[in-house]
């Protein structure tokens, strides 16, 4: 039997989903902890003016209790701030917790609370917050990670009450550090909620644009979704398999990040999410936990979508799980709607896909693979990595792919290290970008985790395109120089149709793609030359004269451009385009396109420029 799960709401109210309501103690010990915490925190208020203990500590404990039902963790959630907020010495406060809950329960509660507590006396000259985070990082206990994640999650719910600068900083931390932690713990639902709750406070203008674009995407129309779900359900039935068909709509932050990555690879435009295949993911969840049935169903889905399948977008996370995530992924391009993702998993896999360590604990499964490493930036920023990660992985986690091509050196705890070295919990990682940089290369893939490798491939692809474009730009410059032109950008600005036709004939999306294709050998110079002739892209047919000037800083003064324009006018020329740039040394580059000159006036203009009293480093006329 196959169940099609009815879609009533495209994007459920996640804040309601995470609203645990008033805290109600589940056990006698939890009730005692509630009274103890209430006594310690007294009349303490939050920035919102609400009672601190009941609203914050109560939410953290209630959420953890509902998720995991671990008595020690729930008590730790209630008391996670008691050591910091009491007037006693931290050791005395922790001992009081052990005495309040004798035996293993008190030991575990004290251990988690100790890991959560901010130190009163920072060491090694580090800031209080950095020392705190280093201490937490050393513990690596799942209870500490989940309590901390719950603590940060509730703080996000009250960001509007913080001063603007602090609000933005905390929102960024929630996304880049704790959203990543939720991802490593494979708690997708939690990660999506946390990131999207923080996104409006981290970058409100971008969030508004992203939400408006995504919410009007045609793939999120109910009629389209129901049609695809029905077809998938029929395919499952025809395969003789039992299960259900559901959907997951990706978060705004994750969709935006994927679009940016695709745009850098020139596989998408920032104006359209059509290429973001997991904007909506159709989930085929098999009732049987036999993973072989996933591959059986995969064949049926491939037959269903046929030529619409994108073979480059197939991922087998069953054979190669990512942070505990297991499923088969296929992508299909649905014409004007854009790309969709279809994921195939067993019921057991999907439970862990959505709630990771939480689901594993509920099912009494081994959670030893959920042991992330927390590293820190010199400013106290926290980042989380899978166990066994390297310095390169740490760099990627700090600023994603934006930092991978800017590495001059890396220090860990103040000492220079190799990118292949492994990081340990609590390491402070500093990326140095001054000086000669290490160019990314494929060798780096040998010591990258899966997440870093995906980012690195994007950087390598972009770098390869850039190098090919540089080569192509030089080859084209030499080719068009023979045609009396200096830059195709001038043709694009003045004769747009000619460049559009050139790109269409050579199957290139833009001039940059054209340069990359020429530099990489995908487009032959003979074909370019033939197309230029057919389209009339030459000095004679366009009637242009182009001058290119490189002048030193001594000539970069007011009135120079007017002087040069006057020389052109004296020869009967009309400037139709000019491009100028100031150089780092104070000099300038100038390129002008002139109409109305014959061969005689061209020679006279060149002579006038050479004798105008300026010392040009380069003077080129074509």
CA distances from 36 to 11, 122, 147, 496 (A): 39, 28, 18, 75
The overall average pLDDT reported for the chain is 87
Q: In 101-251, which ranges are continuous DSSP H helix? A: 104-116, 128-139, 142-156, 164-173, 180-184, 188-202, 204-215, 222-238
Across 92-100, average pLDDT: 85
At residue 194, the pLDDT reads 94
520 lies in the same domain as 590: no
CATH of the domain at 555: 3.30.70.260
Across 609-618, average pLDDT: 84
491 lies in the same domain as 566: no
Q: Is residue 499 part of a domain?
A: yes
125 vs 575: which has the higher pLDDT: 575
Across 514-533, average pLDDT: 90
25 lies in the same domain as 119: yes
- Confirm if 63 and 78 have CB atoms less than 8 A apart: no
At residue 214, the pLDDT reads 95
With a cut of 80, say whether residue 138 has pLDDT above it. Answer: no
With a cut of 90, say whether residue 201 has pLDDT above it. Answer: yes
Query: For the chain, how many structural domains are there in total?
Result: 3
With a cut of 90, say whether residue 63 has pLDDT above it. Answer: yes
pTM for this one? 0.75
CA atoms of 622 and 619, how far apart (whole Å): 10
556 lies in the same domain as 533: no
Q: Is residue 603 part of a domain?
A: yes
19 lies in the same domain as 39: yes
With a cut of 90, say whether residue 244 has pLDDT above it. Answer: yes
Phi, psi of 344 (to 5 degrees): -120, 125
Q: Is residue 138 part of a domain?
A: yes
497 lies in the same domain as 614: no
Distance, CA of 199 to chain centre: 12
Q: At what angle do helices 252-264 and 450-481 cross, to 10 degrees?
A: 40
492 lies in the same domain as 509: yes
511 lies in the same domain as 613: no
At residue 122, the pLDDT reads 39
Q: What is the pLDDT of residues 561-578, one digit of tens each?
A: 888 888 888 888 898 898
- Confirm if 574 and 595 have CB atoms less than 8 A apart: yes
Residue 520's domain comprises 482-542
The answer to which of 111-120, 127-136, 536-545 has the lowest mean pLDDT is 127-136
66 vs 83: which has the higher pLDDT: 66
Across 456-477, average pLDDT: 87
**Residue where a domain terminates, one of 156, 190, 211:** 211
534 lies in the same domain as 549: no
- Confirm if 483 and 498 have CB atoms less than 8 A apart: no
Across 433-438, average pLDDT: 88
| Other CB atoms within 10 Å distance of the CB of residue 197 | 22
At residue 373, the pLDDT reads 85
CA distances from 588 to 450, 546, 563, 608, 618 (A): 46, 17, 15, 19, 11
**Residue where a domain terminates, one of 184, 211, 238:** 211
- Confirm if 304 and 237 have CB atoms less than 8 A apart: no
562 lies in the same domain as 534: no
Calculated CA dihedral for residues 364, 366, 368, 369, nearest 10 degrees: -110
Q: Is residue 286 part of a domain?
A: no
CATH of the domain at 207: 1.10.3210.10
CA atoms of 58 and 86, how far apart (whole Å): 18
87 vs 319: which has the higher pLDDT: 319
Q: Is residue 44 part of a domain?
A: yes
Q: Is residue 520 part of a domain?
A: yes
Q: Is residue 60 part of a domain?
A: yes
Across 540-560, average pLDDT: 86
Using pLDDT thresholds of 50, 70 and 90, give the confidence band for residue 370. Answer: confident
At residue 120, the pLDDT reads 34
**Residue where a domain terminates, one of 211, 229, 251:** 211
- Beta bridge partners, 384, equal 374
Using pLDDT thresholds of 50, 70 and 90, give the confidence band for residue 123. Answer: very low
The answer to which of 78-92, 356-370, 596-610 has the lowest mean pLDDT is 78-92
| Coil vs helix vs strand at 55 | helix
Most confident range, picked from 18-27, 83-92, 137-146, 245-254: 245-254
Most confident range, picked from 110-124, 261-275, 483-497: 483-497
At residue 613, the pLDDT reads 81
Using pLDDT thresholds of 50, 70 and 90, give the confidence band for residue 619. Answer: confident
- Confirm if 145 and 80 have CB atoms less than 8 A apart: no
Across 471-492, average pLDDT: 91
Give me the sign of the Cα torsion angle 539, 544, 548, 549: positive
At residue 51, the pLDDT reads 87
Across 531-543, average pLDDT: 90
With a cut of 70, say whether residue 137 has pLDDT above it. Answer: no
With a cut of 70, say whether residue 296 has pLDDT above it. Answer: yes
- Confirm if 602 and 621 have CB atoms less than 8 A apart: yes
Instruction: State what percent of residues in the chain have pLDDT above 70.
Output: 94
68 lies in the same domain as 198: yes
The answer to which of 209-213, 554-558, 593-597 has the lowest mean pLDDT is 554-558
| 3-state helix/strand/coil string of 153-190 | HHHHCCHHHCCHHHHHHHHHHHHHHHHHHHHHCCCHHH
CA atoms of 398 and 394, how far apart (whole Å): 6
27 lies in the same domain as 121: yes
Phi, psi of 432 (to 5 degrees): -100, 125
At residue 195, the pLDDT reads 95
Q: Is residue 578 part of a domain?
A: yes
Residue 577, class by beta-carbon neighbours within 10 Å (0-12 exposed, 13-18 middle, 19+ buried)?
middle
- Confirm if 201 and 168 have CB atoms less than 8 A apart: yes
Instruction: Find, among 445, 493, 488, 446, the residue nearest to 469 by Cα.
Output: 488
Across 500-521, average pLDDT: 88
Distance, CA of 118 to chain centre: 30
Most confident range, picked from 22-26, 132-136, 174-178, 420-424: 420-424
The answer to which of 246-255, 299-308, 418-427, 547-556 has the lowest mean pLDDT is 547-556
């Amino acid at each position: 039997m196959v169940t099609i799960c009815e879609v009533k709401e495209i994007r459920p109210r996640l804040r309601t989903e995470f609203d645990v309501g008033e805290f109600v103690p589940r056990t006698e010990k939890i009730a005692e902890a509630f009274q103890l915490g209430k006594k310690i925190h007294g009349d303490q208020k939050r920035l919102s003016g609400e009672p601190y203990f009941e609203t914050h500590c109560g939410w953290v404990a209630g959420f953890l209790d509902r998720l995991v039902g671990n008595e020690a963790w729930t008590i730790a959630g209630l008391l996670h701030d008691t050591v910091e907020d009491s007037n006693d010495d931290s050791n005395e406060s922790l001992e009081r917790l052990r005495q309040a809950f004798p035996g293993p329960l008190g030991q575990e509660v004290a251990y988690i609370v100790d890991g959560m507590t901010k130190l009163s006396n920072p060491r090694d000259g580090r800031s209080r917050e950095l020392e705190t985070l280093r201490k937490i990082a050393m513990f690596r206990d799942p209870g500490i990670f989940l309590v901390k994640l719950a603590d940060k999650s509730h703080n996000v719910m009250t960001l509007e009450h913080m001063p603007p600068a602090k609000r933005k900083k905390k929102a960024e931390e929630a996304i880049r550090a704790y959203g990543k932690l939720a991802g490593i713990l494979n708690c997708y639902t939690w990660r999506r909620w946390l990131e999207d709750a923080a996104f409006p406070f981290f970058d409100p203008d971008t969030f508004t644009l992203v939400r408006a674009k995504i919410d009007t995407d045609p793939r999120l129309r109910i009629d389209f979704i129901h049609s695809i779900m029905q077809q998938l359900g029929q395919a499952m039935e025809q395969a003789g398999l039992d299960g259900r068909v559901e959907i997951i709509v990706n978060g705004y932050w994750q969709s935006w990040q994927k679009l940016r990555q695709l745009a850098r690879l020139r596989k998408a435009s920032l104006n359209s999410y059509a290429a973001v295949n997991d904007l909506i993911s159709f989930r085929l969840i098999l009732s049987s936990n036999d993973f072989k049935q996933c591959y059986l169903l995969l064949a049926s889905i491939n037959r269903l979508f046929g030529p619409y399948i994108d073979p480059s977008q197939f991922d087998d996370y069953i054979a190669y799980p990512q942070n505990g995530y297991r499923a088969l992924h296929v992508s299909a391009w649905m014409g004007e709607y854009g790309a969709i993702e279809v994921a195939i998993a067993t019921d057991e896999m999907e439970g862990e896909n959505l709630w990771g360590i939480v689901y594993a604990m509920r099912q009494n499964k081994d959670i030893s693979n959920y042991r992330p490493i927390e590293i820190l930036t010199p400013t106290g920023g926290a980042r989380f990595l899978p166990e066994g990660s390297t310095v390169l992985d740490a760099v990627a986690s700090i600023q994603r792919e934006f930092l991978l091509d800017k590495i001059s050196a890396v220090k860990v705890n103040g000492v220079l290290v190799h990118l292949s070295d492994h990081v340990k919990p609590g390491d402070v990682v500093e990326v140095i970008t001054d000086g000669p940089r290490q160019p990314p290369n494929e060798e780096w893939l040998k010591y990258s985790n899966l997440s870093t490798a995906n980012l690195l491939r994007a950087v390598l692809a972009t770098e390869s395109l850039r190098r090919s474009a540089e080569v192509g730009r030089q080859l084209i410059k030499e080719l068009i120089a023979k045609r009396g032109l200096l830059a195709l950008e001038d043709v694009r600005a003045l004769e747009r149709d000619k460049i559009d036709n050139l790109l269409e004939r050579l199957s290139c999306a833009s001039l940059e793609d054209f340069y990359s294709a020429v530099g990489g050998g995908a487009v032959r110079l003979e074909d370019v030359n033939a197309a230029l002739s057919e389209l009339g892209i030459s000095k004679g047919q366009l009637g242009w004269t182009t001058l290119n000037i490189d002048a030193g800083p001594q000539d970069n003064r007011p009135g120079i451009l007017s002087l040069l324009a006057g020389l052109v006018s004296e020869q009967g020329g009309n400037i139709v385009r000019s491009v100028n740039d100031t150089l780092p040394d104070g000099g300038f580059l100038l390129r002008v396109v002139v109409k109305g000159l014959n061969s005689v006036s061209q020679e006279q203009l060149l002579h006038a420029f050479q004798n105008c009293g300026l010392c040009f480093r380069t003077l080129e006329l074509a």
